[in-house]
Structure 1
């Protein structure tokens, strides 16, 4: 990891070598030329920023290394905080970070989407704060923004956010850290969204990767019964990397994580780049791999929703061992970057489908300051509040998300409140009048 810290007028730079992650074609590679497969854990101890607690990160990173993890996903960070100790701890353990750049007040709203300078600045500030860490693997510009056919109107805004963050990254001379999106597993919506985010001849407007939050494989299932065979069919000719950004159904108990053998084995490893398991800490939704101690009073200083948020991590049996035992035996070698010649072309942009996909082909993307304008609306601006996530998704650690997956996983009592959209964008002190609209079929 490359780390730069400033102390008064003195500057210290320390290099701890860890190969960086990059996307090429439909695969992820390390900078030393090896294909990279994610064995990850969702990690959000607090709503504010789990990567600002150095001592806790050291304890957790040590145990994650024992588990066999090489990645974490973090849903919310404070770009003004000091992340050196945590990022060093995870780097020393060989663990990369996949980081969401949106915040509680700047995520893209599914029903009244907009892309403005407040959002742009917030997303860019996270990239500024983390680009120097070699173990940052990628950034998400959204999590589960689209959950219904009606919310597909937000897809161009997701794509616009990715386009602008990629351009910002490049304009600053940062390394090409992949920028992507984490999608809800909605069967009727997923194929169109998956293709839309990668479609078009202009690669600067396409995402660098697509990730999926899926809880289809539950209990003693298999590749065909679980529905993973259909996920594989949709990914087999995909032109950008695809992986599971959340998985790990928790009913029935115990969690066996048998899907890892499919994802990291012969069924899917040629198309998929691994998986992130939901989640590290035990809380009310009962998805934890570890606990920091017994239940605590809701008023306890070190607790949220009755669950302790720091301390010595203790594996939860048998779930922790079940996952560890799978990962020990699953080591796909993939292909070397030098020997890999991508052949898949970008998919066609999906056409308008009434009630299911409301974007008509490869529409021009919103520019900064644009908001959705429905047919017949008198104003192009939109602001409002999200209704929050529904109770079908494990989301206490997924604060700041714009939607929810259709899995059977219950939400936690620690769920974040709905967020209010950002204020109108300003350019040179003048409000930007939103004029862009998604062109709906039949308009």
Structure 2
């Protein structure tokens, strides 16, 4: 028996799960795990090492195995379940980094635009960039990532509209882009992947634009809406920060809404007291979490980690955010039954004078360039960090690795965006249960691997 146990342990050391997380789906205005039906809250960080210059020909944040391994281990240790990446090169191989992210139990929100030529919209003259080449880039980006089950969604744009002039010029093009991205995903992907937009930190713009991008026809409406906001600075409060006004403004929003960027740094180091508010009772009925800006220290001093070459050092912001995440209690809500149908609000009453939705550009392709990603199985050795990582005091952190998170299995998939649902607390009981962050991020660690090993030798497995 001891010999068999040793063999099992040796086998377990070689295996990880290739598919660690369940795809996320939208039911009404909330995210849910498509298998367990648990409501999903984004506990995230914006991730673009190198800033806007972090993408170029032959490089991007999700193509460097050494960088991904080091950074994803630190993000997992931080307590993150989602990252946002702003720009990628869709011609590169992203299988290792996406599989590593998945193995760590984390999802990706991906922007489809880049700062490179023919890969974004001109906010003031969008017609000049509405080209077949632009669509080829968009479709190729979708193709490169659509097979990864841990892709939570695609952003059609980030702060494309940021003033009165762009508000007059761009919304129709954003709506058209949403229409065509959603249609392409429906036609070519094996599941529905949500498409949304990330709006600028401007109260007037985000309200009017949000209403327009999510009203009327579902075929061209945003599936989710991200808000970039830096209103809570230092030791503020729900009321004085303006969070109370923001929450009231979006209390009845028809699609999932979350902070796609937050974390004001006018007071440094940041203490992240707004994190408790965002996931607390005053806001968690409206917002599905958020993403802290940002992982890597750049010239703007928003970083959690300072990297250089193959090494990295934690900053005080990392330590403070880790503490804020650790002390959270995340609502534990399960989708239980469909009781009504939620429809998107009417577009009547909105300023639509200059917001005509254009057709796809002349000569637009019907497919991307043909680079298709796929999740791959990783060995335990591939999860061990060999880079030098130090804490705030400069002490080397030893034994750093990505912990494999097993896929959770419970029930069947039934929810759709057009369906409605009543929610109950965990274990099918009415009320508002809570799950700690460590449980939400690390739930099921090693379960998938252990089950596979035991099944391989004919063991009887009982799941309680």
Q: Same fold (TM over 0.5)?
A: yes
Compute the displacement of 1:331 (Å): 3.3
TM-superposed CA distance for 1:15, in Å, is 3.8
Range with greater deviation from structure 2 (266-275 or 102-111): 102-111
Whether the 8 Å contact between 1:178 and 1:208 is mirrored in structure 2 is yes
Match of 1:42 in 2: 46
Distance in structure 2 (CA, Å) of the matches to 1:80 and 1:217 = 39
Aligned match of 2:360: 368
CA deviation map 1:346-393 (0-9, x unaligned): 2343646xxxx6x339x65211128xxxxxxxxxxxxxxxxxxxxxxx
TM-score (ref. length: structure 2): 0.69
Q: d(CA) in 2 for partners of 1:123 and 1:349?
A: 27
Q: How does 1:112-131 map to 2 (within 5 A)?
A: 112-114=125-127, 115-131=130-146
List gaps (5 residues or longer) in structure 2.
Answer: 1-16, 363-464
User: How many residues of Structure 1 are paired with residues of Structure 2 in the alignment?
Assistant: 333
How many angstroms apart in 1 are the aligned matches of 2:327 and 2:279? 10
2:222 is matched with which residue?
207
CA–CA separation in structure 2 for the residues paired with 1:350 and 1:314: 52
In the TM superposition, what is the alpha-carbon distance from 1:121 to its structure 2 partner? 1.3
Q: Which has the higher helix share?
A: 2
Offset from partner CA, 1:195-220 (integer Å, 9 cap, x none):
111111x2111011000111000011
2:251 corresponds to 1:257? no
Contact kept? 1:238, 1:346, Cα under 8 Å: no
Is 1:62 equivalent to 2:81 in the alignment? Answer: no
Please name the residue that 1:99 is paired with.
Answer: 110
Structure 1 spans left out of the alignment, 5+ residues: 1-13, 293-307, 371-443
CA RMSD of aligned residues (A): 1.9
Q: TM-score, normalised by structure 1?
A: 0.72
Within 5 A, what are the aligned runs for 1:124-203? Answer: 124-152=139-167, 153-200=169-216, 202-203=217-218
8 Å Cα contact 1:110-1:151 kept in structure 2 = yes
Q: How does 1:409-428 map to 2 (within 5 A)?
A: none
- 2:25 alignment partner, one of 22, 25, 36: 22
Residue 95 of structure 2, aligned match among 84, 105, 124: 84
| Structure 1 residue 335, shift from structure 2 partner | 2.8
DSSP-derived class of the 1:323 partner: helix
**Which whole-Å deviations, capped at 9, do the CAs of 1:244-282 have from their partners, x for residues lacking one?**
110000111120111111111101111111110111111
Deviations 1:35-89 (A, max 9, x none): 1111111111142111000111111111111110011111110111111111122
Secondary structure of the 1:160 match is helix
Q: SS in structure 2 opposite 1:245?
A: strand
Q: Which of these residues, 66, 72, 75, is aligned with residue 86 of structure 2?
A: 75
Do 1:108 and 1:158's aligned partners in 2 also have CA atoms closer than 8 Å? no
2:297 & 2:240 partners in 1: Cα distance? 28
3-state SS, counterpart of residue 313 of structure 1: strand
Partner in structure 1 of residue 296 of structure 2: 281
CA contact (8 A) 2:114 2:120 kept: yes
State the shift of 1:342 in Å.
6.3
